Amino acid sequence: MSSRLVVATQVVDPEHPFLGATVAKLRALAARLDELVVLADDGVAGVLPDNCTLHLFGTGSREQRARRFLAALNAELSPRPLAVLAHIVPLYALLAAPLVRPRRVPLLLWFTHWKPSRTLVLAERVSTAVLSVDRRSFPLRSGKVVAIGHGIDTEHFACVERRPGTRLRVVSLGRTSPAKGLETIARAAGIAEVELEVYGPSSTAEERAERARLVSLGVSVQEALPYSRVRDLLARKDVLVNNMREGALDKVVYEAASTCMPVLASNSGFDDLLGPELRFRRDDAGELARKLRRLVDVDRALLGRTLRERVEAGHSAAHWAEGVLEVARR
C-alpha cells in the first residue's frame, strides 16, 4: 500500500527569514513517503522533491482562503493518507477536523511556542496527537503531546571551523520583542567586554520601541536575514546567546549548535542540549557575563562538536520526520 501524508503549512520558501526551515522538514518527510501533499498559504515552485504536490490557497479574503484550503484538502483525502499534519498553525487543525475525523484519518498538530490561545485550546481537542520539540514547548497541559525534536537541517547547518578574533564575537537572533530578553544580553556583553550583534525584525509597535531602546544602549541591531544567509552569519560568530522565556525553544539555538557553535541560553527546556555550564538564570546579566568570560578561554571547537552530536541525535530533520511518521502510523 502506498504511503501518503498531507501537510498544511504557512509558507514553502527556503529564503523566508523565519519559515525557511519548513522546506528541509518537508524534504525529509518526502524522502520517507511515496507521496507528500502540501497545502500552503504561500510558496515557491520547484523547491520540493518530485513526489510532492503543492497547493497554494493564500489569496483573497480569509473566507476565500479557507474555502480553497478545504477544497484542496477534501480532494486529497482520497486515497486515504496516513495522516493530516497541521504545521505550526492551530487554525489549520480546526478547519481540517470536520473533513478528517469522520474518515478516521489521524489529525496531527505540530506546535512549539510559549503562548497559549483559545484557538490552540480547541485545536488540541480535535487533534489526534500534538507534536512538539519537548513536552515543555507546548503551552497547554495535554496527554496528547509527543516530543520529536526540532527538525534542524544539519546538512545546511554543517560544522564550521571558526577563526579566532581579538574579542569574543556574540550574536543573538530573533524579533526585537521584550520577551527575548535582549537588554539582559546587551548588559552582559558590556560587562564581559565582548562584541555583540543582534539580528531580527521589528514588526509591531512594541518591537519597534524595544529596538529603539536597544540602539540607545549602544547595541548593534540589524534587520533579519534571509534564511539561507543565517548559516554564513553563524560561521562568522563565536557564541550565540538566547534569553527567551520558559517554554520557547527557539530553533536558532539548535541551528547554531549544529554548526559546532557554543550556545548560552536561559531556558531550562534546552537541558537535553546544553549542560549547566551553558545555561544561565533568565535576566541575570552578571551570571551571563561570567559564562561569556569563561568561553573566552575554553576549547570552543571541542564544545561545539559535542553540541553538534546532540543535535544530530535528537533534533535533525530526519529525526523529526521519523517522529511524525511513527505517530501517524500508530
pLDDT digits (tens, 9 = 90+) for 25-35: 999 999 999 99
Whether 7 contacts 33, CB under 8 Å: no
Cell numbers 506546535 correspond to: 111
**CA–CA dist 239, 196 (Å, integer):** 10
- From 248, 288, 291, 293, select the one nearest 268 (Cα to Cα): 248
292 with 185, same domain?
Answer: yes
Whether 216 maps to a domain, the answer reads yes
- From 74, 19, 15, select the one nearest 47 (Cα to Cα): 15
110 with 236, same domain?
Answer: no
257 with 119, same domain?
Answer: no
Task: Compute CA distances 154 → 25, 74, 251, 271, whole Å.
Answer: 11, 34, 12, 20
Whether 107 contacts 96, CB under 8 Å: yes
Contacts of 200 (CB under 8 A, 6+ apart): 173, 174, 175, 176, 180, 221, 223, 224
Domain count of the fold of the chain: 2
Three-state SS for 201?
coil
Whether 158 maps to a domain, the answer reads no
Whether 142 maps to a domain, the answer reads yes
187 with 137, same domain?
Answer: no
100 with 21, same domain?
Answer: yes
319 with 300, same domain?
Answer: no
**CA–CA dist 242, 249 (Å, integer):** 9
| Main-chain dihedrals φ then ψ at residue 169, nearest 5 degrees | -100, 110
291 with 321, same domain?
Answer: no
pLDDT at 1: 53
Whether 159 maps to a domain, the answer reads no
Its pTM stands at 0.92
Whether 162 maps to a domain, the answer reads no
From the number of C-beta atoms within 10 Å of its C-beta (0-12, 13-18, 19+), residue 112 rates as buried
Whether 229 maps to a domain, the answer reads yes
184 with 323, same domain?
Answer: no
Task: State the residue range of the domain holding 206.
Answer: 169-313
120 with 200, same domain?
Answer: no
268 with 320, same domain?
Answer: no
- From 31, 106, 42, select the one nearest 69 (Cα to Cα): 42
217 with 320, same domain?
Answer: no
Per-residue pLDDT in tens (0 to 9) along the chain, 330 residues: 569 999 999 999 999 988 999 999 999 999 999 999 999 999 999 999 999 999 999 888 999 999 999 999 999 999 999 999 999 999 999 999 999 999 999 999 999 988 899 999 999 999 999 999 999 999 999 999 999 999 999 999 999 999 887 899 999 998 898 888 999 999 999 999 999 999 998 989 999 999 999 999 888 999 988 888 999 999 999 999 999 887 778 999 999 999 999 999 999 999 999 999 999 999 899 999 999 999 998 999 999 999 999 999 999 999 999 999 999 998
201 with 127, same domain?
Answer: no
CATH of the domain at 68: 3.40.50.2000
